[in-house]
């Protein structure tokens, strides 16, 4: 199964201070959101500012994609939020 970030849907910061992005699992796209807390805790985002969150996301995109791939086994209708707990399980 090929898993990749959809380049046609640029990552963006939502009003809830998450970075939303779309991942394609073969031909099945899913929306994910990475919390600001996870980006600050694990990827060095210095603040919740839009620029800081997007830079941290871009720097850690491959690792975030691996976490999303593990959570994407189930096909939910709602966006999947990746918070501190999901990264704690993978990184420890």
8 Å CB contact between 35 and 81: yes
47 conformational bin, left if phi > 0, alpha if psi -120 to 50, beta if neither: beta
Residue 10 pLDDT > 90, yes or no?
no
- Helices and strands of the chain, counted as H and E runs: 4, 5
* Digit-coded pLDDT (tens) for 60-70: 999 998 888 88
pLDDT of the residue at 73: 65
**pTM metric for this prediction:** 0.76
Q: Catalogue all structural domains in the chain, each as residue range(s) with its CATH number.
A: 3-91 (3.30.160)
Q: Strand, helix or coil at 6?
A: coil
* Digit-coded pLDDT (tens) for 26-65: 778 889 999 999 999 999 999 999 999 999 999 999 999 8
């Amino acid at each position: 199964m090929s898993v990749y970030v959809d380049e046609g849907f640029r990552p963006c910061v939502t009003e809830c201070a998450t970075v939303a992005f779309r991942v394609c699992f073969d031909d099945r796209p899913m929306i994910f959101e990475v919390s600001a807390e996870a980006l600050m805790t694990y990827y060095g985002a210095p603040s919740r500012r839009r620029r800081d969150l997007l830079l941290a996301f871009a720097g850690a995109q491959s690792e975030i994609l691996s976490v999303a791939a593990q959570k994407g086994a189930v096909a939910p209708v709602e966006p999947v939020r990746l918070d501190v707990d999901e990264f704690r399980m993978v990184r420890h």
